[in-house]
Amino acid sequence: MTRKSVSAAVLSRSHATLEYMVYVIKGNGEQEVFKTTKLDESLKRAGVDRKLRDVIVSHIESELEDGMTTSEIYRHAFDMLKMHGSKPSAARYSLKRALMELGPSGFPFEHFVARIFEAQGYRTETGSMLRGKCAEHEVDVVAENDEEIVVCEAKFHNTPGFKSDLKVALYVEARFRDLKESNIGGRLGNKRARYILITNTKFTRNARDFVSCNGGFELIAWSYPHEGNLEALIEQTGLHPITCLTTLSKNEKQQLMRDGYVLCRAVKGNGELLRRIGVTGTKATDVLHEAEKLCVPMTPEMVVH
């Protein structure tokens, strides 16, 4: 199959139903049929209005070729959003890739997960050492409120298409089981316990099946489960990563993360923080405006039709 061999087109011209039989390459190297409905829905979730979605979808359709990568399609749509002056929507559309830019160490991702729990009223710790029945374990995030303690293992990947597999689930299950048998190092008391394995990408079907069958802990991934997945948690809390901001350079974002700032809201209304990293004038105004529009919880009313 060559890049130029467009197989066929379904002759249904109503927007968001047209599906070209063009095979695109996903981040993990697998092929799938390109679906305009999938592209349109991702733009819709980012808050892009119908008129601009029509423009972007039509543009992507006109450039489709067998063998195009989903990254190429994403880049085209992302650039068009910025070109049409829709930077907050561009930032929301880039959310999945922005999470990958929290790397490469994964350390900022642990802090990002902690901030999500804090937004829900938990007190959090990162990198805590907890004693299990048989061994001591370094836990990525511990979140606690008056009713429960949440033990969270955070698996960060900065490669599109990379999935946490059964080996990861087995390893984490053994650690969680050891901590359960010690009542989380004696900290549990009368509180209930939750154990969560969270990743910024996906889990393999085998890993999901194992956890579903075995029980004992929860899985949270980018789009899993259907409710309470990572994308939904971010949008519902407005806790977008600093890497979402399209008005800051990669170096400026990295400087902020080195200083411990992982959330977009850290720069919201904070011109002094921007001045400390050398961002002033018109650029600072643009950053502050983007942060103001982006770093708010996404409500159903903001999802346009």
279: CATH: 1.10.150.20
Q: Are residues 114 and 66 in the same domain?
A: no
126: tokens are: 């990162």
**Closest C-alpha to 231, from 75, 57, 107, 97:** 97
Residues 28 and 116 in one domain: no
> Are 53 and 163 part of one and the same domain?
no
In a domain, 17, yes or no: no
Q: Residue 98 falls within a domain, yes or no?
A: no
| pLDDT at 260 (0 to 100) | 86
Where a domain ends, among 207, 236, 265?
A: 236
Peptide bond into 104 cis (omega under 30): yes
Please list the ranges in the chain whose pLDDT falls under 50.
1-20
Residues facing residue 123 across a β-bridge: 144
CA distance linking residue 259 with residue 18, whole number of Å: 47
Q: Are residues 167 and 226 in the same domain?
A: yes
Q: Do 165 and 225 belong together in one domain? A: yes
**Hey, what are 230's tokens?**
């990572």
Based on the fold, state whether residues 206 and 145 are members of the same structural domain.
Answer: yes
- Inside any domain, residue 10: no
Task: Give whole-number Cα distances, 169 to 22, 163, 190, 210, in Å.
Answer: 35, 11, 27, 8
CA distance 149 to 123: 10
Is the domain of 215 the same as that of 263?
A: no
Residue 181 is predicted with a pLDDT of: 97
Count of domains forming the chain = 3
Q: Which domain holds residue 232?
A: 107-236
Q: How far apart are CA 162 and CA 165, in angstroms?
A: 9
